[in-house]
C-alpha cells in the first residue's frame, strides 16, 4: 500500500478476506470499503421498490383491462411511463392518490439514474481534502454521465431510495394504522382497486 498518499488511513481502505475461503488468484475492489454496504443497501432497497411498483402497475393494468404483452420486460423508464398512463384511468376517482403517485414517480426518476450508475457503471474512489469520494460513470439515455458522492451523499441517497420504497408500500397497504395520507373515501376506493386487481390476476394465465 506504499503507493497511497501519506494522509490516507491505510487500515480503513481494504476489507479483509477470509483466507480459508479465498481461492487465488483473487482481487479486492479498489474501493474504500465504507462505500460498499451503502451501495449494497441502495441496490436491495431499489429492488424492493421496483417489486412494489410492479405489483401496483399489474393491478392497474388488470383493472383497466389493458393489453401490454410482456410489459414486465420493459426497462424502468418505460414501465414508469406505462404506470403514469394507467393511472389516468385507474385513479380517475382518486385525485389525492393520483397526486401522491405522480410525485412518487417523479422522485423515483431523479434517483433511478444515480442507482444505475452505481450498479452498472464504472466505480472508483479518490481522497480529496481528507474526504473519500466515490466516482461512478457510465451511459444514461445515450449520454456519458458521471457523479461524485461522498459517504454522506451516498447515505442520503440510501435514505431517499428507502423512502420511495416506503411510499410505494403505503399505497399497497393503505390501511396503515400510523399513516393515513388520503381521505377515507379514497382509501376505500384504493383498497377496492387493489382487491379487484388481485382477483382478476389470480385467474389470468401467467405472463
Question: Is the per-residue pLDDT at 63 higher than 70?
Answer: yes
Among 53, 6, 9, CA closest to 32:
9
Q: For the whole model, what pTM was predicted?
A: 0.87
Contact between residue 58 and residue 201 where contact means Cβ atoms under 8 Å apart: yes
Residue 170 inside a domain? The answer is yes
Residue 51 inside a domain? The answer is yes
Q: Retrieve residue 58's grid coordinates.
A: 399489474
Range of the domain at 49: 30-121+158-198
Q: Count Cβ atoms below 10 Å from residue 175 Cβ, excluding itself.
A: 9
Residue 187 inside a domain? The answer is yes
Q: Retrieve residue 86's grid coordinates.
A: 394507467
Range among 9-13, 74-78, 130-134 with highest mean pLDDT value: 74-78
Q: What SS3 state is found at 148?
A: strand
What confidence tens digit (pLDDT) does each residue in 88-108 have?
Answer: 999 999 999 999 999 999 999
Report the number of distinct structural domains present in the chain.
1
> Average pLDDT, stretch 148-162?
96
Residue 177 inside a domain? The answer is yes
Q: Is the peptide bond preceding residue 118 cis, with omega within 30 degrees of 0?
A: no
Residue 136 inside a domain? The answer is no
Residue 148 inside a domain? The answer is no
Residue 192 inside a domain? The answer is yes
Residue 1 inside a domain? The answer is no
Amino acid at each position: 500500500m506504499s503507493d497511497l498518499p501519506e494522509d490516507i488511513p491505510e487500515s480503513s481502505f481494504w476489507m479483509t478476506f477470509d483466507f480459508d475461503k479465498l481461492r487465488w488468484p483473487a482481487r479486492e475492489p479498489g474501493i474504500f470499503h465504507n462505500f460498499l454496504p451503502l451501495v449494497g443497501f441502495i441496490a436491495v432497497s431499489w429492488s424492493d421498490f421496483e417489486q412494489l411498483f410492479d405489483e401496483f402497475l399489474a393491478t392497474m393494468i388488470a383493472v383497466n383491462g389493458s393489453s401490454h404483452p410482456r410489459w414486465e420486460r420493459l426497462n424502468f423508464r418505460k414501465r414508469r411511463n406505462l404506470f403514469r398512463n394507467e393511472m389516468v384511468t385507474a385513479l380517475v376517482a382518486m385525485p389525492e392518490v393520483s397526486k401522491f403517485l405522480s410525485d412518487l414517480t417523479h422522485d423515483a426518476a431523479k434517483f433511478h439514474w444515480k442507482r444505475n450508475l452505481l450498479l452498472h457503471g464504472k466505480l472508483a474512489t479518490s481522497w480529496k481534502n481528507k474526504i473519500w469520494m466515490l466516482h461512478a460513470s457510465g451511459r444514461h439515455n445515450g449520454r456519458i454521465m458521471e457523479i461524485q458522492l461522498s459517504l454522506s451523499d451516498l447515505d442520503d441517497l440510501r435514505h431517499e431510495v428507502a423512502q420511495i420504497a416506503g411510499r410505494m408500500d403505503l399505497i399497497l397497504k393503505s390501511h396503515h394504522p400510523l399513516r393515513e395520507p388520503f381521505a377515507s373515501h379514497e382509501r376505500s376506493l384504493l383498497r377496492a382497486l387493489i382487491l379487484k386487481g388481485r382477483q382478476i390476476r389470480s385467474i389470468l394465465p401467467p405472463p
